[in-house]
Structure formats: C-alpha cells, structure tokens
C-alpha cells in the first residue's frame, strides 16, 4: 500500500505500480470490524495515465 486517504464515507487506497490488493483491503477492513459495502477500482483517465507513464515529460 502506497497511500490511504479518508474521504468521509469512503476511503481511497493507492498501491505501488503493478500491485493489486482488493483481497487485502477487504480482509483488513473486516478484521478491523468495519462493514465493507463495495470495492470500486478507480477509473484512470487516458491523459492522466499518459502523464504517469511519461512522468510528465512530453517531447
């Protein structure tokens, strides 16, 4: 896990590149006695993905 943000009624969890942890998130929350309603992957916009891949460097 790279980052966790409290967004009020939900949380945002970021992973390092190439890591996936839906099971880890659900298991950790349930073991912490929290109810999990859903896990929703964030949809990355094409231009944001491009900037992440190129690290913002455009020739």
**What residue spans define the domains of the chain?**
3-54
More confident residue, 34 or 48: 34
Q: What is the pLDDT of residues 35-53, one digit of tens each?
A: 889 888 877 788 888 887 8
For residues 39 and 10, what is the distance between their CA atoms, to the nearest angstrom? 10
Identify the band that residue 30 occupies on the pLDDT scale cut at 50, 70 and 90: very high
Enumerate the H helices of 1-59 as residue ranges.
22-31, 46-54
pTM of the model: 0.58
Position of tokens 């929290």? 34
Q: Supply the pLDDT for residue 48.
A: 81
For residues 21 and 13, what is the distance between their CA atoms, to the nearest angstrom? 9
Percent of the chain with pLDDT over 70: 92
Q: Supply the pLDDT for residue 57.
A: 66
């Amino acid at each position: 896990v790279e980052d966790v943000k409290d967004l009020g009624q939900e949380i945002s969890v970021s992973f390092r590149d190439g890591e996936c942890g839906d099971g880890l998130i659900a298991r950790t929350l349930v073991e912490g006695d929290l109810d999990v309603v859903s896990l929703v992957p964030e949809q990355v916009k094409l231009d944001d993905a491009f900037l992440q891949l190129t690290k913002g460097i455009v020739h």
